[in-house]
Structure 1
């Protein structure tokens, strides 16, 4: 079910994520390093895999063109992380001056759970504001502090963003639970309850003194965020690495009984179980830190990894949504058809989740199509 190249990629990935010895015996002169590189890029795990490749004996390393390109990409990742860490100093300083309480979601915070935080491929900076009035104040004032315009604003919703120093800063006034009906119904009440009962985590990220959500929140939220993207389009291994590394790093801080209860409360037991089984069986996660591992889901777990490797991060690399046509109508039709196929492939394992997102898929697709027409 997995090609030789995919197996070699997964061996590199597991070694990089868990700092375990690499099985060098599966690499030889015929190794398809170009194919491995494409998988590293599609799954957004370039840094952690390149770090492992750099330790291979010279005769097993890729040719100079591929190897130096990977080194350059990894250097870019490190520099991007350093830039984000510097901006975090200014962001939390600005929030303090504006008297608004921000919590850093995912990103640079969860990177601290990696063996080398600078090798985690960064995306943007996400700040969460628990109180609606603080979220609105952040939307109104935070971008002005940096003298940049707000790029996208949703005061009545839960999302806004601006770009500062070429870094996207996303502001969130709520937590998305668009996975199934139970998750959607309970997510915000659960969030407010956790923040009311648990202590936020203070974290030094280089010189930035960041405030993260309570550990119990992130232990579930990081998974929820990855799964929401999986059902919405697709997800890369980096986001699953975030989840696994967080559970591993904070294993002594997480109340397992309480976590299981909340997984059930949010209607995520089956989804978590399948992802957990994949994490242990294929991604190297230690079984003792992964709740709800279940042998019964071995076939589902294997199928799940197949889907993830086929689609890449956010589904950008899935052949079903690609076309060479320059006609906007053809492009949108191919994208719609491809994304529908990606959603319906989940119907055997996750029937409720596969069907739940269909209405919003059509609505969002139509809105993006209209927006595209207006900008042409």
Structure 2
């Protein structure tokens, strides 16, 4: 948690500011919000809060659209820009890995669906600014897909009932055999039958 600091924005005010900036990032046609003037300490706390929630690059897009007098210091903008650049590079690495894996699986008759973060990033104004911790793939034949990965000499962790986890070219990947939690077997079977 980020503590409140006397004389600065409360955590609640900081969260509201983050949400206003985030809304403008997700809806680029919306004008940037008119936010109160933040101190350097408040901007640093906002940066930390954005990083904790995986929205650093998204917020930076809006911050650059704010009037100059509402923006953080040059030093913090540089820090924010470097963080955003690292997120963009990670997104590109994950996108390449997802493409290579889905191509590998398809060449062996295994159908895939890209799930969650990376899959949903295409709906963001700047997909490369959607932070993703890993790649989530649903495979219609997870056992076969996992064997293909093991044939590449990659160790797979099978400890979870939900998915198999491995690292491919520096990217964590989860191969899911189910789209839903195991407690929803009947619904899942219907979805699986529809997809397969």
- Output the TM-score relative to the length of structure 2: 0.84
Alignment of 1:191 with 2:195, yes or no, is: no
Displacement after TM superposition at 1:192 (Å): 2.7
Corresponding residue for 1:95?
105
- CA deviation profile, 1:148-182 (whole Å, cap 9, x unmatched): 222x1249x332111111100111112453xxxxx
Q: Which runs of 4+ in 1 moved over 3 A?
A: none
For the 8 Å contact 1:107–1:122, the answer to whether it is kept is yes
Alignment of 1:148 with 2:154, yes or no, is: yes
For the 8 Å contact 2:154–2:167, the answer to whether it is kept is yes
The number of residue pairs the alignment matches comes to 185
RMSD value, Cα: 2.3
For the 8 Å contact 1:9–1:40, the answer to whether it is kept is yes
For the 8 Å contact 1:161–1:169, the answer to whether it is kept is yes
Distance 1:79 1:29 in 2: 29
Gaps of 5+ in 2: 1-9
SS of residue paired to 1:3 = helix
Distance 1:47 1:192 in 2: 38
Displacement after TM superposition at 1:194 (Å): 2.8
Alignment of 1:105 with 2:102, yes or no, is: no
Corresponding residue for 2:168?
164
- Output the TM-score relative to the length of structure 1: 0.46
Displacement after TM superposition at 1:29 (Å): 5.2
Distance 1:94 1:2 in 2: 47
- CA deviation profile, 1:275-329 (whole Å, cap 9, x unmatched): xxxxxxxxxxxxxxxxxxxxxxxxxxxxxxxxxxxxxxxxxxxxxxxxxxxxxxx
- CA deviation profile, 1:61-88 (whole Å, cap 9, x unmatched): 1112221111111111111111111112
Structure with more helix by fraction: 1
For the 8 Å contact 1:127–1:169, the answer to whether it is kept is yes
Corresponding residue for 2:25?
16
Alignment of 1:68 with 2:78, yes or no, is: yes
- After superposition, where does 1:223-372 map in structure 2 within 5 Å? none
